[in-house]
Amino acid sequence: MTDSTLTPERILEAAEEVLRRYGPDKTTVVDVARALGVSHGSVYRHFPSKAALRDAVTERWLLGVSLPLAAVANESISPLTRLRHWFDLLVTTKRRWSQQDPELFATYLALAAESREVVREHVTTLIAQLITILNAGVASGVFYTDDVPTTARALFHATARFHDPVHANHWADPEIDSAYEGVWTLLVRALQPD
Amino acid sequence: MTDSTLTPERILEAAEEVLRRYGPDKTTVVDVARALGVSHGSVYRHFPSKAALRDAVTERWLLGVSLPLAAVANESISPLTRLRHWFDLLVTTKRRWSQQDPELFATYLALAAESREVVREHVTTLIAQLITILNAGVASGVFYTDDVPTTARALFHATARFHDPVHANHWADPEIDSAYEGVWTLLVRALQPD
DNA sequence: ATGATGACAGATATTGAAATTTGTCATCAC
DNA sequence: GTGATGACAAATTTCAATATCTGTCATCAT
């Protein structure tokens, strides 16, 4: 039976399902409760507000991005290859998502825009992964930088056009790949030891 | 008398004034005509559509950005200093604009979002200015790159977070200046001859 | 002849009354 | 006692009627 006890986890699943079906504007707490066969008051027993529920859904989605990236960041391969794989995965994940299901991506975008704090933490997580890769590279002498955290943040910001959803409307441009290569080339040069 | 013959120029001035006052959503061609004391049919004699009028206003605004930058791009100072001044001017212009008059900036943003082609040309213009600076630097040996146009475009994209209006909501963040310095440091390193 | 007008049709936007939603909490069921 | 319920007030959204706007063009004025 699907209707065992009500848990935050089950509510999140239902919320994702409803969001997927109705979009961010038309999804209501009543809809989510209905999908679960409970009253909306019961949902409020597990999430203090609709905003908190939305934040939790956003966090779940962002984990889907950051967990695979964490695996890459900790792979036992050369730091330069690892850095490239990491950015490739970040960029292609976002791009595929935005193109294969634009409506769902728009939903994700709308949620993220309202869950600023959750997104901020996500970005911090990603930059921490970059720090891991940079540290490995500096230790083995293939990267030079006198300030790893600053450089990690700079790499993230310098590539924003290719992974920040606010730029998603450019991800189908024909020049996007060569533009990405151009920035990558520049950044790799910046990391080279003298 | 302000009511001499009706010209595109006078219509543009009136349109800017009305946009400034009412914002992009509530501005109508009828409003613009009223501001000029003419019928809206007369406006259509000079602009084929409301979209064309909007594009022309956008183009005018963007010229306000690109003309001062052109001056910097052609200054007779060291290419590295010139590059830095150019980006500083670009970044501070946008930032001041977005913070001193957020409503007008939002208006500009809304117009630009609908005038894609005009914006595309604006970006091409800016990248051409970067090419000028890079060429000077390569000629005098202070910059290295084997592909000036690609590098110019990469520099523009890598700094998008600090000048692309889609990122304007981060321009008041306290770390924005150090983030900018971080990216700048990286990019300068990438341009250094071996 | 040149340029401005305003009536018009179809498309779009506004408005405010009615319906729905959010979040609370006294009550209910087990 | 624990957890779910649904009635409720306040806030928000929906909807359809009404008004306005866009773009055209036959007509007017100079």
pLDDT of residue A2: 44
User: Which of A150, A179, A190 is closest, CB to CB, to B157?
Assistant: A179
For the CA of B191 and the C1' of C28, the distance in angstroms is 73
CB B66 within 8 A of CB B90: no
Q: Are residues B16 and B70 in the same domain?
A: no
Q: Do B153 and A182 touch (CB under 8 A)?
A: yes
Say whether residue B159 is in contact with chain A using an 8 A CB cutoff.
yes
Q: Do A158 and B183 touch (CB under 8 A)?
A: yes
Residues with CB under 7 A from strand C: A 28-31, 40-41, 44, 48-51; B 5-6, 25-26, 38-42, 44-45
B159 to chain A: closest CA residue? A158
Q: Do A183 and B150 touch (CB under 8 A)?
A: no
Distance between CA atoms of residues B19 and B99, nearest Å: 18
Residue A189 has pLDDT above 80, yes or no: yes
Q: Are residues B84 and B11 in the same domain?
A: no
Q: Are residues A127 and A34 in the same domain?
A: no
Within a 10 A sphere around the Cβ of B51, how many other Cβ atoms?
Answer: 11
Residue A1 has pLDDT above 80, yes or no: no
Q: Which of B147, B151, B161 to mutate to test the interface with A (most CBs of A within 10 A)?
A: B161
User: Which domain-ending residue is among B47, B63, B79?
Assistant: B47
Q: Are residues A93 and A11 in the same domain?
A: no
Q: Are residues B77 and B142 in the same domain?
A: yes
Q: Are residues A63 and A38 in the same domain?
A: no
Cβ-proximal residues to B176 (8 Å cutoff; 6+ apart), any chain: B162, B170
Q: Do B159 and A159 touch (CB under 8 A)?
A: no
Query: Which H or E element spans position B39?
Result: none
* Residue linked to tokens 């590098």: B151
CA distances from B96 to B89, B93, B165 (A): 10, 5, 12
Residues in B touching A83 (Cβ below 8 Å): none
Q: Are residues B168 and B86 in the same domain?
A: yes
Interface of A with B in 21-80 (CB under 8 A): none
Q: Are residues A71 and A146 in the same domain?
A: yes
Distance between CA atoms of residues A150 and B42, nearest Å: 57
Residues in A touching B150 (Cβ below 8 Å): 178, 182, 185
pLDDT of residue B5: 84
CB B60 within 8 A of CB B42: no
> What DSSP string runs through chain A?
---SS--HHHHHHHHHHHHHHHHHHH--HHHHHHHHTS-HHHHTTT-SSHHHHHHHHHHHHHHHHHHHHHHHHT-SS-HHHHHHHHHHHHHHHHHHHHHH-HHHHHHHHHHHHH-HHHHHHHHHHHHHHHHHHHHHHHHTTS---S-HHHHHHHHHHHTHHHH-GGGGGGTTSTTHHHHHHHHHHHHHHHHS--
User: Which of B164, B182, B187 is closest, CB to CB, to A153?
Assistant: B182
Give phi and psi for B188, each to the nearest 5. Answer: -60, -40
Number of domains in chain A: 2
- CATH number of the structural domain spanning residue A123: 1.10.357.10
Q: Are residues A62 and A120 in the same domain?
A: yes
Distance between CA atoms of residues A108 and B26, nearest Å: 29
- The string of pLDDT tens digits covering residues B148-171 is 999 999 999 999 999 999 999 999
User: Which domain-ending residue is among B10, B29, B47?
Assistant: B47
- The string of pLDDT tens digits covering residues A157-180 is 999 999 999 999 999 999 999 999
- Copy the structure tokens of residue B85: 């001044």
> What DSSP string runs through B156-177?
HHHTHHHH-GGGGGGTTSTTHH
- The string of pLDDT tens digits covering residues A64-120 is 999 999 999 999 999 999 999 999 999 999 999 999 999 999 999 999 999 999 999
Per-residue pLDDT of chain B (194 residues; tens, 9 = 90+): 344 688 999 999 999 999 999 999 999 999 999 999 999 999 999 999 999 999 999 999 999 999 999 999 999 999 999 999 999 999 999 999 999 999 999 999 999 999 999 999 999 999 999 999 999 999 999 999 999 999 999 999 999 999 999 999 999 999 999 999 999 999 999 999 98
- CATH number of the structural domain spanning residue B13: 1.10.10.60
Q: Do B154 and A190 touch (CB under 8 A)?
A: no
Burial pattern A6-38, b for ≥16 Cβ within 10 A else e, equals beeebbbbbbbebbeeeebeebebebbbebbeb
Residues in A touching B185 (Cβ below 8 Å): 150, 154
B44 Cβ nearer than 7 Å to chain D strand = yes
Domain containing B187 equals 49-191
- Copy the structure tokens of residue A64: 């889907």
Rg of chain B over Cα atoms, rounded to whole angstroms, equals 20
CA distances from B40 to A56, B9, B12, B160 (A): 51, 16, 14, 39
Cβ-proximal residues to B11 (8 Å cutoff; 6+ apart), any chain: B32, B36, B43, B46, B47, B53
A113 to chain B: closest CA residue? B169
Q: Are residues B14 and B63 in the same domain?
A: no
Q: Are residues A27 and A112 in the same domain?
A: no
- Copy the structure tokens of residue B98: 């977005």
- Copy the structure tokens of residue B169: 């909501």
Distance between CA atoms of residues B14 and B35, nearest Å: 6
DSSP code, position B32: H
Termini Cα distance of chain B: 64
For the CA of A106 and the C1' of C21, the distance in angstroms is 23
Distance between CA atoms of residues A157 and A137, nearest Å: 19
pLDDT of residue B78: 97
Q: Are residues A81 and A27 in the same domain?
A: no
User: Which of B155, B164, B186 is closest, CB to CB, to A151?
Assistant: B186
Q: Which of A164, A180, A189, A191 to mutate to test the interface with B (most CBs of B within 10 A)?
A: A189
